[in-house]
Amino acid sequence: MKNIPIYEDEDNTQLPSIGLLECEKMSVFLALMFVAGIYGAYTYNIRGGVFCNAQTANFVLFSMALGKGEFAHAAYYFIPMTAYFLGSVISEAIAGPVRKHSPVRWDTVLIGIETAVVIMLGFLPESAPDRIAQVTVNFICSMQYNTFRQAERVPMATVFCTNHVRQTGIYTVKAVKERSRKHAVRLLRHVGMLAAFVLGGVISTLLCLRLGGRAIWAAAIPLLMIFADLAYADLKTEKNAHDRIPGGH
């Protein structure tokens, strides 16, 4: 009988390894995290001084407005929260049908959509209401977060840092206590994700100072590279694995 390679999941359970899809590769997740750093610095520096990659701050501000009886102000924060909700709903609902009826996966389609949105935002006049860019980034970050869930069978977030900080702390302790190479590798992966986000934020800030709203175009470069990589895999190298579902879904 042919030996089947194995890997260990987060609970140390041995499972058969059937290889990784291109959309599950660590390189893709690092590039997406770099893009997320660009988004965060762009919305803060150019579009209203807010962070649109996640929704915790909006929920806090929404709650404070309700507590003060400022219901109209509370409704203002409900808009990006709703956009984030709809992003996850649409990405969850559409992934299956796209996989069945398209030669490329939803992951690839999403990156194509995200690239087009980034280019569009770069053309948006700086005099335009900040809410347009904010809600748009809310929406695409939600879809990205919901679509790309595991990098090489390790749960990962591609739009914010909180989970990676937590995981870095966890695997620092485990790597020291158990002297385990597996834990050290996972520690480095999460550190790498944090570094990619910071690098994206630094580059975005420098470009915002010089290019204004067009700085968002910096995100189009890695997104186009990811799109080409995923499309090639869907149409060529992974054509026979089209029905495989990425990890975490």
The per-residue pLDDT for 9 is 46
Rounded Cα gap, residues 21 and 170, in angstroms = 27
- With respect to residue 143, please indicate whether it lies within any of the assigned structural domains: yes
| Range with the poorest average pLDDT among 4-8, 71-75, 162-166, 233-237 | 4-8
Check which CATH number belongs to the domain holding 65 and give it: 1.20.1250
16: β partners: 6
Which residues have C-beta within 8 Å of that of residue 151, sequence separation ≥ 6? 24, 25, 26, 28, 29, 189
Residue 6 lies in a domain: no
CA-CA distance, 242 to 249, in Å (whole number)? 15
Q: How far apart are CA 30 and CA 88, in angstroms?
A: 21
Is 30 among the domain residues? yes
Q: What is the pTM of this model?
A: 0.89
Q: Which residues contact 30 (CB under 8 A, 6 or more apart)?
A: 192, 193, 196
pLDDT in tens, 184-219: 999 999 999 999 999 999 999 999 999 999 999 999
* Interval 211-244: pLDDT, tens: 999 999 999 999 999 999 999 999 999 988 888 8
Is 223 part of any domain?
Answer: yes
Q: Which residues contact 162 (CB under 8 A, 6 or more apart)?
A: 54
> Looking at the domain assignment, is residue 109 inside a domain?
yes
Count: domains in the chain: 1
Residue 172 lies in a domain: no
Packed helices 26-45 and 130-147: angle between N→C axes, nearest 10 degrees: 160
Domain that residue 47 falls in: 24-158+198-236
